[in-house]
Amino acid sequence: MLTPEPAPILIERLTLSYGAHRVLDELSLAVPAGSITALLGGNGAGKSTTLAALLGFARAQSGTISVCGIDPAADPDGARRRIAYLPENVALYDHLTAVENADYLLALSGERHDRRAIADALAGAGLQEHAWDQRLGGFSKGMRQKVAIAVALLRAVPVLLLDEPTSGLDPRATADFNTLVAAVRERGTAVLMVTHDLLSAADVADRIAFLEGGRVSHEVAAQGADRFDVRALHARFQTGGERVAA
């Protein structure tokens, strides 16, 4: 009998403190390959610290964390080679075009792609052709996000981390972005999306986890045609009250 492959994102009883302040309190979370987990929580719940730990920027005091079997604290470069990370404020260069930004960022990650591959990725991300050779100084946030997701698509790594990816996007741009993330999932990527946007999470996630006080207090999986009871999830998110049924 074959042993199942461990989840590309696997966190078990992780505790992390900054001085006397415990930010993560025995956090456990798994994101299997080919799935999207949305991590929701209020300010100070530990969402950003969870991403920092996965990227190797924060070291835990106890517990285990792995990215494709690699401990990010012990081998941050090895872990990051397997991660595409999309921060809330995408670090792109206003004086470069969309194609030039993609080419430069891919080169920084040790990958090179020809113009045709970059153009195909930009088209797949929904950026119109007339914008490919325009400088990013005049781009909207939605257009900048499309450039960043095109880079993530080209990298074809097993893990995608998203930090408030729909912040500042209008409903149409959010729907387009969710379609792109779903396409990334279909090729087997493990996607962890940190967000305040419950509706976007309900549209695209396979599982929603609520982070409270540095640990997952509740998880619910998508089921049936309606996927989630959004009203119940909203009540949970707003009040942090009793658990809703999964």
Q: What confidence tier does 1 reach under pLDDT thresholds 50, 70, 90?
A: very low
As a whole number, the mean pLDDT across the chain is 89
Domain boundaries, the chain: 1-82+158-246, 91-156
Highest mean pLDDT among 126-130, 175-179, 226-230: 126-130
CATH architecture of residue range(s) 1-82+158-246: 3-Layer(aba) Sandwich (3.40)
Per-residue pLDDT, averaged over 157-179, amounts to 86
Record the tokens describing residue 198, joined without a space: 């419950």
Give the per-residue pLDDT at 3: 54
What is the tens place of the pLDDT at every residue in 66-107? 999 999 999 999 999 999 998 887 789 999 999 999 999 888
Give the per-residue pLDDT at 146: 87
